[in-house]
Structure 1
Amino acid sequence: MKLHPIVLLALLTVACKDKPKPVVTSIPHPTISTDGTRITFPDSLMMSPFTTQPARSGAIRTDFSAPGHVAAMVLRSTENPAERLVLFDEPSLSDNYTAILQHRINIQTERGNLERVKDLQAHGAASGKEVIEAQTQLANEEAAIISDEATLKLAGFDPEALRKARPNTILVVCEIPENQFGSIRKGLVCRLNFTAFPNERFVGVIDNVNDYVDNTTRQIKLRISVANPDGRLKAGMFAQAEFGVSEGNLMTVSRDAIVTVQGRDYVFIQTGPRAVERRAVELGQQRADRVVVQNGLKENDQVVTANVLQLKGLSFGY
């Protein structure tokens, strides 16, 4: 049986009236403070992607290495046991060291001569000219030794320390970057690996840190003394020095927790079950995947370490 079009339309109208209309609900959004420093999420589900780690202080250790070479060997002099025989890998440095030893002898001689001439002058047996000549000779020797000592120091050696160095010792000279200088000090123990003995580790001690930074390379020379009782280590051998420096207890956070905006660094702290707060921090050096925080955090602050870029967008509006 066919229905009249008017009757069919009426039936469809009634059917549409009986079907319930879907309820449209609004999507929840986080609430952000006017200055963007505080973000509050509407429920814990929306907060769950932003996992945290507590800020903790701990011992920080810096490990780095630097290439070097055996620049000198120290032996006991057979002719004069009180003096040290130093064999340098550069002949010119040997000349400088020998000249310094000779200047020391000459200075003692000239000082004695000056005193003798002054005494003769006091008794009328020497002229003022002879005194001036003796003074000039002494001044020349003192100037010459300063020049030779400066040359040795530029190469990483202290002439006085060489005269007192322990026999059967090698002296390794290496260079470290200027930015590592704060971690290095005299007396620090280090380990060395020599190319000639790849499977052995030798213990050394830093006994000198140069007083200047190279203007071109921005490197600082260190001198490391290593015991060499069997004489296996020779002048000129290459080495790799490994340093491990404890920097004390410092607070660090994951590198992933840091955001930088217009030159300033920030982290986000969970301050409640559904609340996050933006915090400005002052950072120190990076150690592996951790960054030292010098100011802005306190112990056990819950630092957000996941999906931080989303918080950055919410906090700063982009």
Structure 2
Amino acid sequence: MRIVGLIMLAGLLAGCSKHEDAAKSQVPAAAPVPGEVSIPPDSPKLLQIKVETVKETEVPVGEVDAPGKIEVNPNRVSRVVTPVAGRITQVFVKLGDAVKEGEPVATIESPDADVAISAYLQADSALGQMKANLLKSQADLERTRDLLEHQAIAKKEVLNAENAMVQAKAQVEQAVAAREQASRRLAILGLKAGEFGQKITLHAPVSGKVLELSVVPGEFRNDTNQPLLTIADLSTVWIASDVPETAIRFIKLGESIDLELSAYPGEHFMAHVKRIADAVDPTTRTVKVRAEMQNPQGRLLPEMFGRIRHVEGLQTMPAVPAAAVLQGQSGSYLYVETGPGRFRQTGVQTANRVGNLLGITSGVQAGDRVVTDGVMLLKGN
């Protein structure tokens, strides 16, 4: 009996042990922490993940980066028009030619030339006649005054002579003004008085290059507002840029900006802000900014495209390789190493770039270790 009891007791103990083991096996495993990724130490993924220590660096703040285009300096461009209707007889320049101020660029044959010369000759003749009348009225006045002294005439005759001389002086002044006007007309047309049949020669009003040419010999022009050619001094040019309204506060009149042109990769040019528009473009939400720059060698040509950059200052802050930062629905984030094979997804606020580095204003600090390569392997876990 004693032996049987021992056997039954052993059976009960074995049953209890199995029940406890089964109960233990049913205890749920600890839930993973949201945003954390663990990779087993023997996983080949670890070999593809690169981790670097966050360091501080100087990052530009108040940075402006916008497209730009070279324009002609509006203060140094001149459009040559014909002062009269007529036929173009000669054109002395070609598109792209460099010209000096005062250099002949074209000639025009026009009946208005003879009209202007005739008007001057008539005005000059009229002035001579008015001067002769004035001399006569002065002589008449002296004679009547002498007769009045000898009581040979009434005082009324003297008054009439004085009035005649005043009128003669006024007529001379009017004639002088008329001849000056006719003379200015000749000067504008580049004509000499007394020589009929002259051709009108147009001269370059400024030194520069011929940017536009829209006339050929033999063509008749009667529109005195339509330019025959455009000459621009390209020793200085403007860079025009549409700056986003969110960045316009960083641009000030007189400040220097940096320019990079597609035509000259790797080269930098400096310009100074001359104009900032008074209104925002409602379609693009940008503000037009124009800056002036020197162009002594003439390398900067109108319509060249590039980008302007301007930095308000530098600020020391943590920076990570740009490839380490991902974009999610809630914003930018990266992965911080918390232990061997363990990584935590961390939201960050980013600043401007410095080369391949991206400034971080919050989320990580110097000394943290972040994943810089293989981040997509963690994103998929």
TM-score tier, shorter chain, comes to 0.3 to 0.5
| TM superposition score normalised by structure 1 | 0.46
| TM superposition score normalised by structure 2 | 0.40
